[in-house]
Structure 1
Amino acid sequence: MIPPTIPDLIARAAAHPFLGEHLVMGQGVHSDIALAQFDGMELASAYEPIFDISVHALAQSLSSGAEGVDRFGDELGFQAVTHPLGAAPFEVFDPFDRCGADQELVALDRMARALHAINFFGAQRHGLLFLRVHERLLKSVKYDHGRHFSSVLMSFGLNPSRVVIELPAAAVAHKTFLGYLTKSYQHYGFKVAGNLSNAGQILSVSETARLDFIKMDAAVALRESMVKALVGYASRLRIPLIFNRVMDEAQFVALQQYDVRFVQGPLFNAHYHDRAV
């Protein structure tokens, strides 16, 4: 079966009244990507790589530092980032800050998720697609989390199992809610990742939900001297642990001392996207 292209997926999105109104193909130099039109802006997709640094080739080339990750690391997947067309892909920007009513936020979230899925799968990218979920959205949708997006993906001919729904730390902090959300998203075919605000939150994971991934801020874990403990506990749970927001070479080198496997963050973005261009 021939995988759908971005134009194919935009054509399929046209069958959805809301998505068909807001998702379009770009023009000119952007004619090969899909864009979302929202509140007078054109929004595009960027993808932050999540690297597996345990691969054998990389282990033999640590002296090459972050550039070694770019050349030898295997990508577990990519985290989607929404940015205004023409702006730097990874500058701080949150379109959800512009939303007032919850209904508007739900609409924007559905539009952004569809946009990122179209640009990701339509470009035949490999690995997993990580999509953040806004905390307010989780409270706005009362039940059946994941049902709508799963139905959209399947109507596009796409598999939800390659999508990881990334829950905010506020959701992970509530054990019962975390368990419900995880089971609901997994029921509709998605994988689920949970962000930790502190190392102690990992204790909630085993009691409430079988997350597919755990994510932790590298700087916080290093500052609290909890990297080794987190790696050990996640290993016992058999849940992959991703250290994100790796900012510089010093943090990367420090993480390597503790058998960390998955990393992402600004340190790797420039190297990766320079190669991609």
Structure 2
Amino acid sequence: MLSPSLPELVTRAREHPFLGAHISLGEGAHAHEAIARYGEMTIASAYEPIFDVGTHSFPQVLSASPESAEQFGDELGVQAITLIEGDAPHDPFAQTQDDRELVALDRLSRALHAFNFFGPHRTGLLFLRVHERLLKSVKYDHGLHFSSVLLEFGMNPSRVVIELPAAAVAHKTFLGYLTKSYQRYGFKVAGNLPNAGQIMAVSDMARLDFVKMDAGAALRDSVVKHLVAYAHRLKMPLIFSNVSDEAQFNALQLFDVHFVQGSVFDSHTFGR
């Protein structure tokens, strides 16, 4: 069953006690998408694709810079990025001191990204980052509120991947609790590795659906081959993030890498 269209989602949001006060259809540069207003800020959505490059065969070196996203394989999904306009700091999440304000801003942003993902009937998975402080501000039942919002609006939590920060992944007991809690409410969970060695610990306390590793760090430390092999043994999809240029992309292709994302695909990023 298809989720409601974007105009239908925004119309239904008017009846919601929190979202109705903030979310509306955009105009001008933000036409055909939902935006949110919170204080002096205007919040919009952008999306960075995560490609499954394992679906295509590649030469050892690309002969030209990426000109067509299709040549890189299928999209696993997209990473939501929060765009802030107006009288606000570049990263309002980091600047917000009050935990209640942080929770409200995070919940609003995630709902907005979900509207702009499900409303146009995008395919694949929606990856949503969770701020480290939010994880500590919410004491229990992580995922309950957001799952209830998605279900209320006819959106499927199983197509949403909650992406945990490296600081959370570094603490095995906390990681295990968070993963089980989010999965209990229907979400998939990804964890950002603080370092390559952490992949050996993530399966002890938590069965993550995805693990992510910074491509530059993995290449610099010459651990790509070992990471790919261990992730394959765990049957845990491994995503190399922050692939910044063609050289890094080509270097990853020397190994059995499947999932990549980063600014190397900038000419195709932030589609709405």
TM-score, normalised relative to structure 1: 0.92
Q: Is the 8 A contact 1:61 1:68 kept in 2?
A: no
Q: Is the 8 A contact 1:185 1:192 kept in 2?
A: yes
Q: Is the 8 A contact 2:60 2:254 kept in 1?
A: no
1:231 alignment partner, one of 228, 241, 255: 228
Distance 1:64 1:152, change over 3 A: farther
Corresponding residue for 1:201? 198
Q: Is the 8 A contact 2:179 2:189 kept in 1?
A: yes
Distance 1:253 1:69, change over 3 A: farther
Corresponding residue for 2:23? 23
**Residue 123 (str. 1) matches residue 134 (str. 2):** no
Corresponding residue for 1:172? 169
TM-score, normalised relative to structure 2: 0.93
Q: Quote the Cα distance in structure 2 between the aligned partners of 1:93 and 1:66.
A: 30
**Residue 63 (str. 1) matches residue 62 (str. 2):** yes
In the TM superposition, residue 190 of structure 1 has moved relative to its aligned partner by 0.2
In the TM superposition, residue 96 of structure 1 has moved relative to its aligned partner by 0.4
Distance 1:127 1:62, change over 3 A: farther
Q: Quote the Cα distance in structure 2 between the aligned partners of 1:251 and 1:69.
A: 18
* Corresponding residue SS for 1:63: coil
How many residue pairs match? The answer is: 269
Distance 1:152 1:177, change over 3 A: same
- For 1:128-167, list aligned pairs within 5 A: 128-167=125-164
* Corresponding residue SS for 1:67: coil
Q: Quote the Cα distance in structure 2 between the aligned partners of 1:29 and 1:81.
A: 17
Q: Is the 8 A contact 2:49 2:75 kept in 1?
A: yes
Distance 1:118 1:61, change over 3 A: farther
Deviations 1:46-84 (A, max 9, x none): 00000000113x436963555266122210000000012
In the TM superposition, residue 101 of structure 1 has moved relative to its aligned partner by 0.6
2:181 alignment partner, one of 170, 181, 184: 184
Q: Is the 8 A contact 1:227 1:258 kept in 2?
A: yes
**Two-structure CA RMSD over aligned residues (Å):** 2.0
Corresponding residue for 1:96? 93
- One-letter amino acid of the counterpart of residue 63, structure 1: L
Looking at secondary structure, tell me which structure has more helix per residue: 1
Q: Quote the Cα distance in structure 2 between the aligned partners of 1:120 and 1:247.
A: 24
Q: Which has the higher contact order (CA 8 A, sep 6+)?
A: 2
Q: Is the 8 A contact 1:80 1:131 kept in 2?
A: yes
Q: Is the 8 A contact 2:58 2:253 kept in 1?
A: no
Q: Quote the Cα distance in structure 1 between the aligned partners of 2:64 and 2:156.
A: 35
